[in-house]
Structure 1
Amino acid sequence: MKKSLLIALITASSTWAMAQVTFPVNGVNDKRPDLYAFTHATIVVNAETVLQNATLIVRDKKIEAIGPNVAIPKGAVVADLQGKYIYPALIDAYSAYGLPEVKATARNFRGNPQFLSNKKGAYNWNEAIVPEFSAERTFQVDEKKANELRKLGFGAVNVVNKDGIARGTSVFVNLAAGKENEVIVKDKSSSNYSFNKGTSTQDYPSSLMGCIALLRQTNYDARWYKTNEGKVEYNISLDELNKQQAIPQLFEVDNDLDLLRADKLGDEFGIQYIFKSAGDEYKRLDYVKATNGSLIVPVNFPKAFDVEDQYDALQISLAQLKNWELAPTNPGQLEKAGIKFAITAGDGQDFWDNIRKAIEYGLTEKQALKALTETPAELLRVSDKVGSLKTGMYANFIISSGNLFKKDNLILENWSQGQRLVINDASLADVRGVYELKIDGMQPVKLTASGNSPFAAEWSVQLDTVKGKVTSTRLNDMLTLSFSLKNLTQGAVSLSGYVANRQPAQLKGTAVLPNGNSVNWVADWKEAGKENGKKEAEKADQNLGKVTYPFVAFGWSEQPKAEKVLIKNATVWTNEKEGKLENTDVLIDGGKIIQVGKNLSAVGAKVVDGTGKHLTPGIIDEHSHIAITRGVNEGTQAVTSEVRIGDALNSEDINIYRQLAGGVTSSHLLHGSANPIGGQSQLIKLRWGKAPEELKFEGSDGFIKFALGENVKQANWGENQRYRFPQTRMGVEQVMTDAFQRAKEYQKLNEAAAKAKNGLSPRRDLELDALVEILNKKRFITCHSYVQSEINMLMHVADSMGFKVNTFTHILEGYKVADKMKAHGAAGSTFSDWWAYKMEVKDAIPYNGAIMHNVGLLTAFNSDDAEMARRLNQEAAKAVKYGNVSEEEALMFVTLNPAKMLHVDNEVGSVKVGKDADLVLWSNHPLSIYAKAEKTFVDGIAYFDIEKDKQMQQEVKTERARLIQKMIEAKSKGAKTQKPSSEIAFDYHCDSDYHFGGNEGDAEYNFQYRLDHSENQH
C-alpha cells in the first residue's frame, strides 16, 4: 500500500474540522478541503453491484464520483487500495446510541398505588404513553460508543427510545464525531411502540392484555382528537401521535407470538408495523410472513448451556435446547421465505461471529449485506442518503482487507460522513508465523504468533515439549513480549524490539533476563502458522432438529389434520334424548359428526375399535385460566372491561396438551377476580399447535368477568392496598351501579351524536363499549361469587339497570339462593367440593351442585385450576356421590351444561349429527377414576392419542439427550456457555398476580408458579 494512505490521510483527517456553519470559532479556523480519492479498489456499491479496480471520490462528507474510470480531482488526497475492498458502512435500524440509559424502575408493589400520571403538563393520562418524546432533542454524540459501533463496521444508526408503550420518535444519525446538529441525518425517522410499560411507576397497566388495551384506546383517542381538534381538550401526547402517523411505525416485540399480537392490533387501525423482533420468527414463519411486515432482526444467538452436570440439564426445557440449535437458522429462513428484514447488532457481542454463523446456517452473503445496509435505509426512508455507495450520498463506507464476511477479513477503516476511523492499520507488518527465537547466551526456542489479525494477539513459546504463554503488547512496529519456561529460565524473560524486516519477517531487540542482565535477541521467520494456512472452515452442523408446533415438548413436527374416522362398537354418551347407547358407531368427517348408529360403514374411513370403551362429548371447562400469558388480572382499576383475554392467548402453554389428555376440548378463559368488573373472557378450543388466533372458538358470544367478595375489596392485598375504591362489599355495589349508569349515558350520547350530525363525535370508550354490549345482550356476564348477600345484590343491580347475569361461577353458597337465581335466569358453575380455603367459603358444602341442579338451575362444575381441569370427569362423578345426581346428568355438568352456559350448545356438548366432532374415547366408564382419555378429538382432529403420546415421550427424551450431548461437544470445542436457568411459567387462578408490570419477572406475590419442564412432568 502506498504511503499516501498512511501519511497523507492521517495528516488530513487528524486536523480537518467539519463544517460548522452556525457555530463561531474561537481562534483560527483551520478548514481544509475534504477531498479524497480511493483508487484501484474493489467497490461493493450495494448487494447487487460490484466494481473492480474502481475509484471513489469523497468531497465534504459526500460521495462525489464512483466508478472504474473516474478522473482524480486536483488537490485530492490519494489512497491506493489495490487488493482492498470498499463496502457501504453498515446501518443499525434499532439502537439506543446517544440516549441516556433506561434504568429499570423499582416498583414498590407493596407500597401505595399510583392511579394517575405524575407527569406535569398537558400530556396523556398514562406515563407509559409518551409519543411526545423526541430522540432528536435528547440525543447526544458519544464518541466512545460511536467508535465501538464503527469498529464493527457501522456508520449510521436509528436512535430509539426503548422506554414505554408509545415511545415517541427516533432520530437517524451518522456515527461521526462533532456536534449533534452536524450528524443528524433525519429527525423523526420512526414512531416507536412496544408492549412493555417500561419505567412508568403508574399501576395501570399491570398485564400484557392491559398494555394492549391501553395502546388500542390511545389509538382511538388520537383519531377522536384529530376529528375534534380545537373543539375538545388540548393534549400534547395525542397531537404528537397524530403527527407521527406518516412516518415508519416501528414496534418492538419480545417473541414471535407478540409479533402476531402487534400485527393484529395494527390491522385494527390500518397500520403496517415494522417489527423489531426477538430473532425467533422461525417458530411461526408462515404466520410471520402473513403479517406482510418487515423485520429488524437481532443476531444475538443464545449461548450453549453448561449441561455437563445432569442435574443442571434438568433445569432446561426442550424449547430452550431447541432454540439454541435453531436460532442461527432464523435469518436464512427469513430469506428463503421472502420476508424483508434488516439486521441489528443488539449489544454487539460476538456480532461478526454470529453473522458468519447465520451464513453457515443458510443466510446468503448478498442478503446479509443487504440486511445491514440497503434494507434498513429503505425501511427508515433514508436510502437516498445512506445504505449504498452512490454519487451525492454520505461518504459512509468501510475499507476491508477482503470479503467482508470471511473469517480472516479485517475491517481496516470506517468512514462516517467523510470522517475516518482507523480500526486495523493496513501498513502494519503481518508477523504471524513460526519463528526461531535466539537470545544471547540461551538455547534457541520456538516462538509462534497466531490469530486472525496482523496484530498477532496470541503468542506462545516452546522448548522441546514444554509450552508457555507469552504476554504481548504492540504499537505499530514496536512490540514487547514476556514469558517464562521452566526448562529454560528461572524466571520471566522480557523482550522489547521491533519488526526489522517484513519479507521474510524478522524481529529483533533487547532482552532483560531474570538476573537483570540485558542481551540481544533475534527471531527469524521459519514458516506460516496454522491460522495462516488454507485451513478449511468447519461446516455448520446440518443435523438439526425440526421446528414443532407449538415450540415446546410434545409439539407436532407436522400439524395433525382432520380425518374421516369411524369409531365402532363403543358405549356412546350422547347427552341427547337418546341417552346412553351401547355398542354404537360414530362416524366423523370434515370436523363434524356425520352419523350415529349401529353397524355403520364408510369408505376410506380410519376405523377405531371402541369395544369396551366409552365415547363422550369433549369436556368443556367453564372457568379456566390456562393459555394466558403475562397476567390474568388487570386489577389496577375497579373497572377494566376494556381488557381482553383474547389479546394475551398463549398457544405454547403445555396445559393445553395436558388437559387434552384429560378429555378437555374447550376452555372458557376468564380474567381474574381482582376488581368488580374485570376483562373480557375468551372461549377457546384446545387446538394444540395452532397459533393464538386459531384457538378462538369461532362465532361464539362474547363474555366478561365480574367479581364479588374478598378479592374485589382487597381484603387480602396487604395493608398498603387501601386506596383503590371499593374497599367494602357495599362499595362493590356502587361500582356496578355507577359503571352501568355511565354506560347508559354513553350510549345516549352516541345515539344523539349520530342523529345530530354536527361534526362533534363522541370519544370512543372501550371500557363503556363492553358494558353497552351487556345492556344490549351482545355480551354476557360470568361472575365470581361466594356469599349469598352479594349474589342477591348483583341480581338486584342487574334487574334495576336492565341486564342479566348469565352465570355465577364458584357460587359456593348457590344452594342458599338457587330459587332466586332461577327466577333471575342465571346459571351456576361451581366447584364440586372445594371449601374453607378462605373465610367467605366457610359455608360451602359438597351438595351445592346437586341442590342447584334439583332446583332446576343450569349447573356445571368448573376447574379454575390447571391441574384439576385434567380430571373434571372425576369432579363430575362427585355429583353422583353427593346428591345422587344420575350418571348421565352428572356428565352433563362438564359437557352439555357448560356448553349451554356459553351459548355454544348448538355446536358442542353432545354427540349429535351436525355438531362439531369434539369427542373423547375413554378406556373405561367416563366417571371412573380408572378411566383414561385414549383419544381426544377437536374438530375431528385427534389432538391427543395415548399411543402417539407414548411415542412422543420417547422422542422428547431422545431429542433432549441429542441436544445436551451437542451442547457438551460445543463447550469442549471452545464455545461460550451460559449457566442453566429455568423458564418460569405461571398457572393462574382467579386471585393470581394482582400486580404485574407487563413482564412475568415483575410478579411479586399472590401467584402460583411452575417450572415449565413439560417433558419432565408429563
Structure 2
Amino acid sequence: MKFKILILTLFLAHSSLQAQEYFPDNKGVKAKNNNYMVFENAKIHVDPNTIIENGMFAVRNGKITAIGKSIVVPENSIRIDLKGKEVYPSFIDIYSEFGIKEPTRAGNENGEPQYEANREGYYWNDHIRPENKAIEHFSFNKEEAEKLHKNGFGVVNTHVADGIIRGSGILVALKPEGTEGERIISDRSAQYLSFEKSNQSRQLYPTSIMGAMALLRQTYLDASWYAQGKSKNKDLALEALNRNKDLVQIFKTDDLLDELRADKVGDDSGVQYVIFGSGNEFEKLDEIKNTNATIIVPLNFPEAYDLEDPFMANYVSLQDMKRWNQAPTNLKMLAQKGIPFVLTTHNLKDEKKFKPNLLKAVEYGLDKKAALAALTTTPAKIIGQENKLGVLKEGAWANFLITSGDFFDKETVLYENWVLGERAMLENMNVVDLRGTYSLKVDENQYELKISGKPNDPKAEVKLGDKKIKSKLSYDDTWINLLLSSPDSTKTEFTRLQAKVTSKSDEISGKAILNNGSETTFTAVKTKPAADDSDKKEKEIKVFEVLPVTFPNMAYGNTSLPKQENILFKNATVWTNTEQGILENTDVLISNGKISAIGKDLNAGNTRVIDATGKHLTAGIIDEHSHLAASAINESGHNSTAEVTMEDVIDPNDINIYRNLAGGVTTIQLLHGSANPIGGRSAILKLKWGAPAQDMIFKEAPKFIKFALGENVKQSNRSSANRFPQTRMGVEQVFIDYFGRAKQYEQEKKNDKNFRKDLEMETLVEILNGERYVSSHSYVQSEINMLMKVAEAFDFRINTFTHILEGYKVADKMKEHGVGASTFSDWWAYKYEVKDAIPYNAAIMYDAGLTVAINSDDSEMSRRLNQEAAKTVKYGGVPEEEAWKFVTLNPAKLMHIEQYVGSVQTGRDADVVLWSGHPLSIYTKAEKTLIEGAVYFDLEKDKAMREEIELQKNLLTGQMLSAKNGGEKTRPVSPKEEQHIHCNTLEIH
C-alpha cells in the first residue's frame, strides 16, 4: 500500500506524462516511444456545442497536442484515417464504487446493538468516517473497466460507499494497461456523504433519517468548534472533515424526498451538495431547482408491470404506474427547467441497459447536446477538471471515443475508447458493411446470397434456385469466410469461400475450394442493397403518451396547487366556537385567506357564492396527536433525542393527508413516537395537499417536543431490551439527569462564548426557559404525577398529557399543575397499562375544568374525529358545542394557535369545513374543506377525480400490456400493504 501511494505522489508531483523519469530501469535497453498519433478526416465533437467537420487532432504521451480543421503533422507521426467516423470526448461518471471492495460487515456476536463508539481517537459516532481515503482501498478491476469502456466511460470518481460521512474519493482514468499511479488523476477528488450507516459498526444511533440529519448538523457544528482549538481531545475524524471542506461534496440519496432533505441539511450547515438523485425529480421540479444542486441521475427506468391478470393489476398504484410512464421524460424536464445534471451507471443492475435507456430519454425529448454535456463537460466542471476532461482541446487528456456515427443513434457502433492516449478496442472499425443481396457465382453454380445482421457480426442466407443451402459466414479482420453445404443433403461435402474486403464495394471476389478439393475463384455481385429498416426502427422505439404530473404525482393529485379564493357561504348553520354559539341561517365571507365577515344577508359583489342552506359550517378539525404525513416516527437510538425534529421527515405524498381533508381535518401536530423518554421535536402542519413539505408547516405555531412514559420507553414490549431505562424509576431518572445537564450547559454557555453548541441541550434549555412546550405520551397515574413533579422541580410546566387514559384519576392535580389533556374517546385493553381506561375519561377531565381534546394517534381514526368527539356526548353528557370544541378549539388552545384557527370568527385563518349535515352525526360528510381560503377537498371534485383515476389506470394498463407485447421486460405485481403508523412504530435505518 505504501508503494501504491508513493507512485501516486510522484505522478501527481510531475502532473504530466511527459515528466522526466527517475526510477532505475535494470531491464536492459529500452526505446521510448515519442511518436505522435494523428487522427484525421473525422467529425470531431470538441464539446456539446462545437463540432469540427473533417477535422484532425494529434496525441502524444496521453494528451492532445493539437486539434483543428487542419494541423501541422509532425514527422514522427502515425496517421489514422477516420473518414466517415465521429469522435467524442469519453464520458465521466462522478458517482462510482469502481475498484473498491465492499467493507466487511461488523459482527454481532451477542445479538444486541453497540451504543458506544469503539474507535479511539475518532468521532463519538462510528458512522461519521471522513478520514476514509479511497486511495487506500483502490484496486483496478479490468473486467469492470471493460464494461464501462463499452458504455463510453473513460474516467470514474470512486469512493468507499460506507457510512454517513464517507471520506474522500479518487478520480480514476480507466486506462486499460498501466499502474494505479498512472491511472489516478486525483487522490482527493470529492467527499461523499449519505443517510446510510456504516456496515463496519454496530452502533445503533441513528435509527432514522431524522436522526441521521441531526447527526450531520451536530457533526458540522463540532468540526467548526474543533477547528478553533477548543477540544481537549484529538479527533482524527473532525480533522479530516475540516480538511475535506475544500472538496466537492457529493451526497447519496435513495428517493426524491431524501434529495430535498439532504439539501436542507446542507442549507442549515452552509454546504452546497451535489446530490445523487432518484430519477423522479420531474415530480418536484421547482423544489429541485431551489436546491441549486447539480443532480446525479441514475439511468435506471422502472420496468412495466405485468398486468395480464386483471385481479393482480388492481394492486398496482396509480403513482407507480405514472412513474413508469413519466420517468423517461425526467432528463428532458430537468434540462428545460435549467437544472444541471450528470448521468451515472450506478444502480444499473445490467450495464448493457445504459445506452438503451439514454436513447430512450432522447426519444422522449432530451436534447442530444444536453445529454452529451451531462456525460462530459458538466461532470468535468464539478470535479474541477473542465480543461483536462470532457473536452477535446490542446492540453487535455487524450480521452476520446471513435464511433461509426451519431452516438445517440441506435445503430451506431462504438469502435474504440481511448483513455490517456491508450486504446481500448471494442469493435473493429475497419469492418466494411456487407449487408445486401448478392448474385454469387461459384464454378458452374449461381447462388443467391443475402447478408444481414450487424456489420461486425453478419449472417448469411444462401439459396440455389428455390433450395435453401446450409451456410456459415464469419467476418474477422477484413477477411470473410463462407462455408456452403452440398445441395445434396445426404452428402457431407462443403465448398469453402474466402476473400479479403478492405473497402465498400458492390462486388466481392476471392478464392473458392470446391467439395472435390479443387481450387477456383468466386464472384459475388450486389443486386439489392440492405432492406430499409426505418419502419422497423419506429416500431422498436415505442414512445407512449405521457400523462401530466400532478401535485402530488399520485391518485387524487392536483393538476395545479389550490389557490386562495374569495367565497361567500350563504345561509349556513355556523358553529362559531365563541360566545355567539351556533348561528342559524348565517353567511360567512372568506377573503384573502381570512374570515372577513359573519352575518346575515352579506353581499360581496362578484365573490363566488356557495349556497349552504341546510348545511353546517365549522372550523377545521385539529388533531393534537398525529403520525400521518411522516417518513419516520421514532429515533430510538438514544434515550433522549431532543436534537431530532419531525419537520425533517414530513411526507407530503402521504395519501392520508387527502383522506383526512375528506374528514374535515385541517391541522395536525405531527409528533415523534414514544421510543424514548425525551423524544423529538414536533411539526405542526396544515394539511395542504400537494404543497411542498416546508409549505405545510404552520409558520406561526410555537415550538413543541414529545416526551413519553410507560411501557414503550422502558422497552417492555421488546424481546431484547438493553438500553437504559428499563424501569419506570429509570424513566424518572432520565428526566432528572438530562434537565440537570441542561441547566449546567446553559450556565457554562453564558460563561464561554466559544462553548460547544449541543443541539440536544439547546432544545432542553428551551423547555426550561418556557420557549418550547412539552406534549407527553402518558397512561398510568403514578407516572403522570411523577413527570409533573419533575417539571415543577425544574420550574417549568408540562403543556399536554396525550393519551392520558388514567387522567380521570388525577384530574385535580393536573388542574393545579396547569396541564391540558388530549385523550382517546374510548380506546382501552390494547395493552396492559390501559386496563383502567374508561370512555368517561374525557368528560370527567372536562368537568374538572381541564382543557380537553380528543386525538387520534391513528390515520384511520383521524378522519373520523368528528364522530370520536360525538362519543363524549354519550359517555358523560358533554354538551354538543363543548364536544365539538374537543376536536377544534381545544386542541388549538393546547397548541397555542387559537388566535389563528379553531373557531369561526373574523380575522381567523379561513380553515373551515362545510358539512352536509350536523358535524357530530355519523351520516354527515365533509363537502368542502378549506385552508386559508383555498379549497383542498371538494366532494364533487372527488367524484370526478375517481373517474379520472380509472381512465388513467386503464390507459396505463394498455401501455404496459403493449410494452410487454413489444418484447419489453416486465416485473410481477406484488401487493403492498399500507403501514399504519403509531407511537411505537420503529424504523431500523
TM more than 0.5: yes
SS of 2:724's partner is coil
Q: 1:431·1:505 contact (CA, 8 Å) conserved in 2?
A: no
Deviation (angstroms), 1:392: 1.1
Deviation (angstroms), 1:861: 0.6
Partner of 2:243: 243
Partner of 2:7: none
Matches within 5 A, 1:720-869: 720-721=720-721, 723-754=722-753, 761-869=754-862
Aligned residues: 963
SS of 1:943's partner is strand
Partner of 2:166: 167
Deviation (angstroms), 1:510: 9.1
- Alpha-carbon distance between aligned partners in 2 of 1:417 and 1:988, rounded to the nearest angstrom: 55
Structure 1 position 567 matched with structure 2 position 578: no
Partner of 1:40: 41
Q: 1:862 to 1:473 in 2, by over 3 A?
A: farther
Deviation (angstroms), 1:533: 6.3
Partner of 1:996: 988
Q: 1:564·1:604 contact (CA, 8 Å) conserved in 2?
A: no
Deviations 1:959-979 (A, max 9, x none): 011011011112222223223
Matches within 5 A, 1:646-685: 646-685=647-686
Partner of 2:234: 234
Residue type of the alignment partner of 2:49: E
Structure 1 position 541 matched with structure 2 position 540: no
- Alpha-carbon distance between aligned partners in 2 of 1:492 and 1:859, rounded to the nearest angstrom: 98
Partner of 1:1015: none
Deviations 1:588-636 (A, max 9, x none): 111111111111111121111111111111110111101111x211112
- Alpha-carbon distance between aligned partners in 2 of 1:978 and 1:673, rounded to the nearest angstrom: 38
**Superposed CA RMSD:** 3.1
Deviation (angstroms), 1:187: 2.2
Structure 1 position 608 matched with structure 2 position 610: yes
Partner of 1:353: 356
Structure 1 position 401 matched with structure 2 position 404: yes
Partner of 2:50: 49
Matches within 5 A, 1:290-305: 290-305=290-305
Match of 1:375 among 365, 375, 378: 378
Partner of 1:587: 589
Partner of 1:222: 223
Partner of 1:282: 282
Partner of 1:91: 92
Partner of 1:418: 421
Matches within 5 A, 1:124-273: 124-176=123-175, 177-199=177-199, 200-228=201-229, 231-273=231-273
Q: 1:499·1:505 contact (CA, 8 Å) conserved in 2?
A: no
Matches within 5 A, 1:613-628: 613-628=615-630
Partner of 1:894: 887
- Alpha-carbon distance between aligned partners in 2 of 1:853 and 1:142, rounded to the nearest angstrom: 72
Q: 1:426 to 1:333 in 2, by over 3 A?
A: same
Deviation (angstroms), 1:227: 1.7
SS of 1:155's partner is strand
Moved more, 573-582 or 359-368: 359-368
Residue type of the alignment partner of 1:996: I
Q: 1:512 to 1:635 in 2, by over 3 A?
A: farther
Deviation (angstroms), 1:295: 1.8
- Alpha-carbon distance between aligned partners in 2 of 1:467 and 1:887, rounded to the nearest angstrom: 92
- Alpha-carbon distance between aligned partners in 2 of 1:853 and 1:357, rounded to the nearest angstrom: 64
Q: 1:439 to 1:656 in 2, by over 3 A?
A: farther
Q: 1:493 to 1:901 in 2, by over 3 A?
A: farther
Partner of 1:391: 394
Moved more, 254-263 or 843-852: 254-263
Deviations 1:42-70 (A, max 9, x none): 22211222112222111111111111221
Deviation (angstroms), 1:310: 1.7
Deviations 1:276-317 (A, max 9, x none): 211211111111112222222222222222222223322321
> Scaled by the length of structure 1, what TM-score is found?
0.89
Partner of 2:10: none
Give aligned-pair identity as a percent.
Answer: 47
Q: 2:128·2:237 contact (CA, 8 Å) conserved in 1?
A: yes
Q: 1:431·1:456 contact (CA, 8 Å) conserved in 2?
A: no
Deviation (angstroms), 1:233: 1.4
Partner of 1:944: 937
Structure 1 position 556 matched with structure 2 position 558: yes
- Alpha-carbon distance between aligned partners in 2 of 1:467 and 1:223, rounded to the nearest angstrom: 80
Q: 1:205 to 1:470 in 2, by over 3 A?
A: farther
Partner of 2:4: none
Residue type of the alignment partner of 1:503: S
Q: 1:822 to 1:67 in 2, by over 3 A?
A: same
SS of 1:157's partner is strand
Residue type of the alignment partner of 2:407: L
Residue type of the alignment partner of 1:114: Q
Residue type of the alignment partner of 1:282: F
Structure 1 position 73 matched with structure 2 position 65: no
Runs of 5+ unmatched residues, structure 1: 1-16, 755-760, 998-1018
Q: 1:402 to 1:708 in 2, by over 3 A?
A: same
Deviation (angstroms), 1:267: 1.2
Deviation (angstroms), 1:645: 0.7
- Alpha-carbon distance between aligned partners in 1 of 2:523 and 2:717, rounded to the nearest angstrom: 80
- Alpha-carbon distance between aligned partners in 1 of 2:528 and 2:552, rounded to the nearest angstrom: 54
Q: 1:523 to 1:626 in 2, by over 3 A?
A: farther
Q: 1:676·1:706 contact (CA, 8 Å) conserved in 2?
A: yes
Deviation (angstroms), 1:160: 2.9
Residue type of the alignment partner of 1:567: F
SS of 1:260's partner is helix
SS of 2:192's partner is strand
- Alpha-carbon distance between aligned partners in 1 of 2:834 and 2:374, rounded to the nearest angstrom: 60
Q: 1:859 to 1:81 in 2, by over 3 A?
A: same
Moved more, 663-672 or 340-349: 340-349
- Alpha-carbon distance between aligned partners in 2 of 1:114 and 1:491, rounded to the nearest angstrom: 77
Q: 1:482 to 1:490 in 2, by over 3 A?
A: farther
Deviations 1:672-713 (A, max 9, x none): 111111111111000000011111111211111111111111
- Alpha-carbon distance between aligned partners in 1 of 2:817 and 2:493, rounded to the nearest angstrom: 96
Partner of 2:9: none
SS of 1:809's partner is strand
Deviation (angstroms), 1:399: 1.3
Deviations 1:198-235 (A, max 9, x none): 52432111111111111111111111111225x42111
SS of 2:352's partner is coil
Partner of 1:1002: none
Q: 1:379 to 1:781 in 2, by over 3 A?
A: same
SS of 2:283's partner is helix
SS of 1:349's partner is helix
SS of 2:640's partner is coil
Q: 2:430·2:478 contact (CA, 8 Å) conserved in 1?
A: no
Q: 1:491 to 1:211 in 2, by over 3 A?
A: farther
SS of 2:907's partner is coil
Deviations 1:533-565 (A, max 9, x none): 687646763732100101111101111111011
- Alpha-carbon distance between aligned partners in 2 of 1:861 and 1:482, rounded to the nearest angstrom: 87
- Alpha-carbon distance between aligned partners in 2 of 1:913 and 1:397, rounded to the nearest angstrom: 70
Q: 1:574 to 1:532 in 2, by over 3 A?
A: closer
Moved more, 192-201 or 558-567: 192-201
Moved more, 395-404 or 898-907: 395-404
Deviation (angstroms), 1:829: 0.5
Partner of 2:5: none
SS of 1:904's partner is coil
Residue type of the alignment partner of 2:556: F
SS of 1:56's partner is strand
Deviation (angstroms), 1:867: 0.5
Residue type of the alignment partner of 2:343: I
Partner of 1:329: 329
- Alpha-carbon distance between aligned partners in 1 of 2:465 and 2:20, rounded to the nearest angstrom: 63
Deviations 1:5-58 (A, max 9, x none): xxxxxxxxxxxx999946554523453224211112222211222112222111
Residue type of the alignment partner of 1:220: L
